[in-house]
Amino acid sequence: MASINKNPVVKKPAMTARVLVMVATRKGAWFFHSDAARKTWRADGPHFLGHIINHLVLDPRDGKTLLAAAKTGHLGPTIFRSTNLGRTWKEATRPPAFAAATDGKTGRAVDHTFWLTPGHASEPNVWYAGTSPQGLFRSEDGGVSWVPFSSINEDAQYRKWMGSVQDGTPDGPKMHSIIVDPRDAAHLYFAMSGGGVHETVDGGRIFTPLLKGLSVVEGFDPANAAFHDPHCVRICPSNPDRLYQQNHCGIYRLDRPSDTWLRIGKKMPKRVGDIGFPMVVHPRDADTAWVFPMDGTSVWPRTSPDGKPAIYATRNAGKTWQRLAAGLPETQAWWTVKRQAMTADARDPVGLYFGTTSGELWMSHDEGNKWTCIAQHLPEIYGVEAAVLA
Amino acid sequence: MKVLMPSALHSYTADSKVEASGATLAAVLADLERLYPGIRFRMIDEQERIRPHIRFFVNGEQARDLSQPLRATDELIIVQALSGG
């Protein structure tokens, strides 16, 4: 476990600060610019029409560098980079790619970059990327060139846990939820679907599984990381010793230095369950988190339970949950929200945002109490990120 | 030689027809990479495999091997095999 320093103070942005919402879809990317009140939104897009954009992320360290993880149905994967909020884009000179195979072995090829994470504040040009099939990559030049990070991409044990392309999600196995401890650049987490949650405290020299307390599908061995399917893991900015996780098998919280996850989803209503993809944490209150439950029964429809979408919030670290659905359709809305497609801004009160696979973008000005639709008729939404602009 | 590019790669070449040189398919792709940086990786993966939805045709015949010899008078057509929706 990394040395524990004082928890960071996460400042509130100005009450009039404008928000940029970045929407990654199966057919391109869109930006939505707010006014000061976050009431009206200006759409900017499409960018990369026809490209599959899995993640679109603004660097919080400089407030201007954007990276987009892209591919098309025909071409190989790449990363596009903008330093002017998307007015112009330039392609990475060396996108994430696995090492070439040696000794006649069959090597892996990156199908797409799935997840992008800016590095630690002390390493201003460092970014991390997670790919499908699972691979961990790092850039030290702001996303222009990428190299494999750590030894896990070729490590025999990790390759077993990663499994084959048949062992992941329908769109392929994913490396995601790459997390940098804001107190320590050498302390990282990542998650794999499938393959579990993993941690390093030495800058990636050694990664170890972090699986205690997590359930797996009945009949499988929870000691084997290959059987774990963390859908989304988040660290609390105001208390980086606390992580929340939406897993294939429930909602969890972890308070370090403990290494045992607590299933806080057992406090969710039984008729709703605690299955879903996204996990969102409050920027300044580590006791507050939000989830978007989906139906995980029978053949796993992964749609809003009973066709009645709702966000659930906890204000006490998972002891209780509150249903938040005002403004959302009351019935016959069979929504799916993917793991990157729900997020929060840093304003006070916090703005929440989510995008559906049916192409609707929704937001709440008041931490989930009331919801309004920002956009309809977008392509299938894969990712939603929000940034408060300077 | 003349190389006919698929529309998906016009963002690199800005034209459907370009000129490139090389004694093999691999050499022509290297020349295209020199002319249009980044273009090769969109067609060939890091294990030197032709990507699943990319096809190469030399004078109308499909070329499946990057070592296939080419002549300056050959015509190379790069095709994006239709997929998805």
pLDDT category of residue A71 using cuts at 50, 70 and 90: very high
Cβ-Cβ contacts under 8 Å, B8 against chain A: 72, 74-75
Q: Is A267 in a helix, a strand, or coil?
A: helix
Q: Would you list the DSSP string of A202-233?
A: STTS--EE--TT---STTS-TTSGGG--EEEE
Cβ-Cβ contacts under 8 Å, B48 against chain A: 100
Distance CA A371, CA A38 (A): 12
Tokens coding B29: 């792709």
More reliable by pLDDT, A102 or B44 = B44
Q: What is the mean pLDDT of residues A206-210?
A: 97
Cβ-Cβ contacts under 8 Å, A80 against chain B: none
Determine the pLDDT at residue A357. Answer: 98
Does residue A322 register a pLDDT over 50?
yes
Q: Are A293 and A314 in contact (CB under 8 A)?
A: no
Q: Which of A235, A264, A229, A261 is nearest to A247 (CA)?
A: A229
Distance CA A343, CA A362 (A): 11
**pLDDT digit string, tens, across residues A229-267:** 999 999 999 999 999 999 999 999 999 999 999 999 999
B47/A contact by beta carbon, under 8 A: yes
A100/B contact by beta carbon, under 8 A: yes
A107/B contact by beta carbon, under 8 A: yes
Distances in Å between the Cα of A102 and the Cα atoms of A21, A107, A154 are 43, 8, 11
B51/A contact by beta carbon, under 8 A: yes
The residue in chain B having the minimum alpha-carbon distance to the alpha carbon of residue A104 is B47
Cβ-Cβ contacts under 8 Å, B9 against chain A: 75
**Of B8, B38, B46, which has the smallest distance from its Cβ to A74's Cβ?**
B8
Task: Answer yes or no: do A75 and B51 touch at CB < 8 A.
Answer: yes
For chain A positions 49-78, those within 8 Å of chain B (CB to CB) are 72-76, 78
Does residue A73 register a pLDDT over 90?
no
pLDDT category of residue A4 using cuts at 50, 70 and 90: very low
The separation between CA A334 and the C-alpha centre of its own chain, rounded to angstroms, equals: 22
B15/A contact by beta carbon, under 8 A: no
SS3 of A41-109: the string is EEEEEEECCCCEEEEEEECCCCCCCEEEEEECCCCCCEEEEECCCCCCCEECCECCCCCCCCCCCCCCC
Determine the pLDDT at residue A14. Answer: 83
pLDDT category of residue A3 using cuts at 50, 70 and 90: very low
Task: Answer yes or no: do A107 and B6 touch at CB < 8 A.
Answer: no
Q: What is the mean pLDDT of residues A83-97?
A: 96
The residue in chain A having the minimum alpha-carbon distance to the alpha carbon of residue B54 is A74
CA dihedral angle for residue A373, residue A374, residue A378, residue A381, rounded to 10 degrees: -80
Does residue A269 register a pLDDT over 70?
yes
What are the CB-based long-range contacts (under 8 Å, 24+) for A31-37?
Answer: A31/A85, A31/A86, A32/A361, A32/A374, A32/A375, A37/A365
Q: What is the mean pLDDT of residues A295-315?
A: 94
Distance CA A384, CA A288 (A): 20
Task: Answer yes or no: do A110 and B81 touch at CB < 8 A.
Answer: no
B54/A contact by beta carbon, under 8 A: yes
Average per-residue pLDDT for chain A: 95
In chain B, what percentage of residues exceed pLDDT 70? 95
Distance CA A284, CA A119 (A): 20
Burial class (CB in 10 A: 0-12, 13-18, 19+), A123: middle
H/E element, B57: strand B54-58
Give the side-chain half-sphere CA count within 13 A for B7: 5
Q: Is the dihedral of CA A139, A200, A112, B55 positive or negative?
A: positive
Burial class (CB in 10 A: 0-12, 13-18, 19+), B27: middle
Task: Answer yes or no: do A91 and B38 touch at CB < 8 A.
Answer: yes
Characterize B28-44 residue by residue with b for buried, 16 or more Cβ atoms within 10 angstroms of its Cβ, and e for exposed.
bbbbbbeebebbbbbbb
Tokens coding A306: 């009973």
A219/B contact by beta carbon, under 8 A: no
Q: Are B24 and B48 in contact (CB under 8 A)?
A: no
How much is the ipTM here? 0.86
B37/A contact by beta carbon, under 8 A: yes
Cβ-Cβ contacts under 8 Å, B38 against chain A: 78, 91-93, 95
Query: How many Å lie between the alpha carbon of A143 and the closest alpha carbon of chain B?
Result: 14
Q: What is the mean pLDDT of residues A341-355?
A: 97
